[in-house]
Structure 1
Amino acid sequence: MAPRPLSPTVWASPQLSPAALPALAAAGVRRLISNRPDGEDPGQPSAAAMAAASRDAGLAFAWIPVSGLPDGAQVAAVADLLADGAPTVMFCRSGMRSTAAWALAERSRGADANALRAAAAAAGHDLGRVPL
């Protein structure tokens, strides 16, 4: 599944493979944010492997692992990274935790909750249980 847009500069994706990163860079993506803890599933690439593949593809990489809903520190870290507007793909197992982290980060910066829910729904994620 290809990353789905949440905003003009942020996309959410299920787990990416290292082999997919050069195509993302060629498409204009400049940063990856992994919200996936290491060892969540057998065979999943580690954060270290994804960081190395990101560097090789010319992408910045941030690892902000989330289990359940993102906490305040995780939301703040995502908000800080996204503040520069660099084209960013966020990923986790399904894209849901990344979508929630994005929405909470945007809400912390004053974005409208209903608009965030609509953008998430358009990307295939239901934020009905996320306290925006």
Structure 2
Amino acid sequence: MTNFRRVTDDFSVTPQIALEDLAAAAAQGFKLVINNRPDGEDPTQPSSAEVEAAARAAGLDYVHIPVRGGPTPDQVEQNYRAVEAAGGPVLAFCRSGTRSIVTWSLGQYQADERSADELIELGAKAGYDLAGAFPR
């Protein structure tokens, strides 16, 4: 099972999940899965369609917002809106979880919901270095 890393009570990130991890995510109370990984990045990863089918079978909502490199402003906005509309805890993933936490953090920062310092601290507690993610 993949390690779900809690960032806040309502947002967690994880490296690439396996399809069987989606039932565990639902059992842990997640409502939405956000896939920030582009299809075909690694030949062994499940496709977005496969992840979506497994998520929906487990009773989870699903959004695919593929990020290559750093997130674009549109991707940050899409991600922010998806989290806001989720109606419960969100689990986001990519290869390592870094793109997912950066995309979420930028949305929080741009909406003035959290300061850069708070987001850097939350990231560190989850095992991610966000020091370079925000304009200074």
TM over 0.5: yes
Task: Name structure 2 gaps, 5 residues minimum.
Answer: none
Instruction: Look up the SS of the partner of 2:33 in the other structure.
Output: strand
Aligned-partner Cα distance in 1 for 2:72–2:88? 23
**What is the CA deviation profile of residues 8-58 of structure 1, one whole-angstrom value per residue up to 9, with x for unaligned ones?**
100010000111111110110011000000011121000000000011000
Residues in 1 aligned to 2:72 and 2:65: alpha-carbon distance in whole angstroms:
11
Distance 1:2 1:48 in 2: 22
Q: How many Å separate the matches in 1 of 2:104 and 2:77?
A: 10
- Aligned partners of 1:80, 1:24: CA distance in 2, in Å? 21
The Cα of 1:131 is off from its aligned counterpart by 2.3
Question: Of 112, 115, 129, which residue of structure 2 is paired with 1:112?
Answer: 115
| Number of the residue aligned with 1:59 | 60
**SS at 1:97 equivalent:** helix
Equivalence for 2:5: 4
AA aligned to 1:121 is A
Deviates more, 1:77-86 or 1:47-56: 77-86
Among the aligned pairs, what percent are the same residue? 39
Residue correspondence of structure 1 range 20-99 to structure 2 within 5 A = 20-84=21-85, 86-99=88-101
TM (norm. structure 1) is 0.96
| Contact kept in structure 1, 2:37 and 2:94, CA below 8 Å | yes
Distance between the aligned counterparts of 2:51 and 2:89, measured in 1?
17
Provide the aligned C-alpha RMSD in A.
1.0
Instruction: State the match for 2:105 in structure 1.
Output: 103
Structure 1 gap ranges (5+):
none
Matched letter for residue 64 of structure 1: I
Give the TM-score normalised by structure 2.
Answer: 0.93
Distance 1:89 1:71 in 2: 20
Runs of 4+ in 1 over 3 A off after TM superposition: none
